Amino acid sequence: MAEQLVELNVTGMHCNNCAMSVHKLLEKKGLQNILVSFASEEVKFSTADQSILPSVINDIESLGFHVVEDAATHQTPFYDKVENKFFFCALFTAPLLLHMVLPWHFLHSPIVQLILCLPVFIVGCLHFGKSAYGSLKGGVPNMDVLIFIGSTSAFVYSLTGTIQNLGEQYLFYETCATIITLVLLGNVLEKRSVNQTTSAVKALMKFQEVSANRLVTDGVEVVNAKDIAAGDILLVNEGGQVPVDGDILSGEASINEAIITGESIPVQKKKYDSVIGGTIVQQGNIKIIATKVGSNSTLAQIIDLMKRAQAAKPPVQKLGDKVAAVFVPVVVLIALLTFVITYFATNTGLQNSMLHAIAVLVISCPCAMGLATPTAVMVGLGRAAKNGILIKGGDTIEAVTDTKYVIFDKTGTLTTGKFSVQDIKPEGGFDIEAIRGVIVAIEERSNHPIAKSLIDGLKGLSKQKVILRTITEEKGLGMRAEDVEGNSYFLGTAKAGADDGYNLSLYKNQKLTAQIAVDDTLKPDALALITSLKKMGIKPVLLSGDKAGRCASVAKTLGITEVHAEKLPDEKLAVVDVYRKKGKTLMIGDGINDAPALTQADVGVSMNDASHIAIQSAKVILLNTDMRSVVTFLQISRHTLLTIKQNLFWAFAYNIVAIPVAALGFLNPMVGALTMAFSDVIVIGNSLRLKVKKV
Task: Report the catalytic residues.
Answer: 409
| Distance from C-alpha of 574 to C-alpha of 580, rounded to nearest angstrom | 10
Give CA separation, 687 vs 367, 400, 676, 690, in Å. Answer: 15, 19, 17, 6
Q: Residue length, the chain?
A: 695
DSSP-assigned letters across all residues of 487-509: -EEEEEEPPTTSPTT--EEEEET
Q: Which residues of 434-454 are buried (b: 16+ CB within 10 A; e: fewer)?
A: bbbbbbbbbbeebebbbbebb
| Distance from C-alpha of 411 to C-alpha of 9, rounded to nearest angstrom | 37
What is the H or E stretch that residue 451 is in? helix 449-458
| Distance from C-alpha of 74 to C-alpha of 685, rounded to nearest angstrom | 42
DSSP helix/strand/coil, 540: strand
Give CA separation, 308 vs 56, 344, 581, 596, in Å. Answer: 21, 56, 17, 9
| Distance from C-alpha of 127 to C-alpha of 333, rounded to nearest angstrom | 24
| Distance from C-alpha of 352 to C-alpha of 664, rounded to nearest angstrom | 12
CA atoms within 13 Å, Cβ hemisphere of 168 = 8
Q: Checking DSSP bridges between strand 415-426 and strand 211-216, what pairing results, if any?
A: unpaired
CB under 8 Å to 627, separation ≥6 — which residues?
Answer: 523, 525, 526, 528, 529
Give CA separation, 571 vs 201, 589, 594, in Å. Answer: 19, 15, 11
